A and B are shown apart, each in its own frame.
Chain A
Amino acid sequence: MKYPVAIIFFVILILARISVNGQTKFSQETNFVNHLFEIKEFDEASIYLNSISKKYIHQNDSIQYLLGRSQYLKKEIDLAIPYFEKVNTENHDLWVASQMFSSFCNNYKKNYSNAVSTLENLNTNNELYGQLRFTQLAGSYLLTRQISKYDSIAPLLSQDYLSLQRTNQRLESYSQNLKNLKIKSPALAGIFSAIVPGSGKIYAGKTGEGLSTLFLHTLLGFMAKEALQKDGAQSPRFLIYGSIFSLFYVANIWSSTLSVKIYRNEYYESVHESIMVDLHIPLRTIFGSGK
Chain B
Amino acid sequence: MGLANKQPADSLFAIGNYEAAAVAYEKDYFLSTETIDKKRALLFKSFCYKALGEYDHAYEIVKRGINIGEKDSTELLLRYEAIVNSYLAQKPSIVVSEIKLCQFYFPNQSSNNNAITILNLLALNDLAKWDESKQLLQTKRNIFGVDSVRIEELYASSSKVKLKNPQKAYNISLLLPGVGQMYAGHFLKGLFSSTVQAALITLVLQAYMMVIFFLVGYPA
- Residues on A lying within 8 angstroms of B by beta carbon are 32, 35-36, 39, 41, 43-44, 47-48, 51, 219, 222-223, 226
Contact = CB atoms under 8 A, between A and B. Distances in A.
Contact of A51 (B20, B31, B207): B20
B37 interface: no
B176 interface: no
Given A222-B210, A226-B214, A47 B19 contact: yes
B23 A48 contact: yes
B27 A32 contact: yes
A35 B26 CA distance: 10
Interface residues of B, number: 13
Contacts of A32: 27, 30-31
Nearest to A227: B210
Majority SS at the chain A contact face? helix
Given A32-B30, A35-B30, A223-B207, A47 B23 contact: yes
Contact of A41 (B20, B26, B214): B26
A222 B211 CA distance: 8
Nearest to A35: B30
B116 interface: no
Contacts of B210: 222-223, 226
B18 to A, nearest CB: 11
A188 to B, nearest CB: 31
A36 B20 contact: no
A32 B22 CA distance: 14
Nearest to B26: A44
A47 B214 contact: no
Given A32-B31, A44-B26, A222-B211, 20 more contacts: A32-B27, A35-B30, A36-B26, A39-B64, A43-B19, A44-B19, A44-B22, A44-B23, A47-B19, A48-B23, A51-B20, A51-B23, A219-B207, A219-B211, A222-B210, A222-B214, A223-B207, A223-B210, A226-B210, A226-B214
Nearest to A28: B31
A210 to B, nearest CB: 21
15 contacts: A32-B27, A32-B31, A36-B26, A43-B19, A44-B26, A47-B19, A47-B23, A48-B23, A51-B20, A51-B23, A219-B207, A219-B211, A222-B210, A222-B211, A222-B214
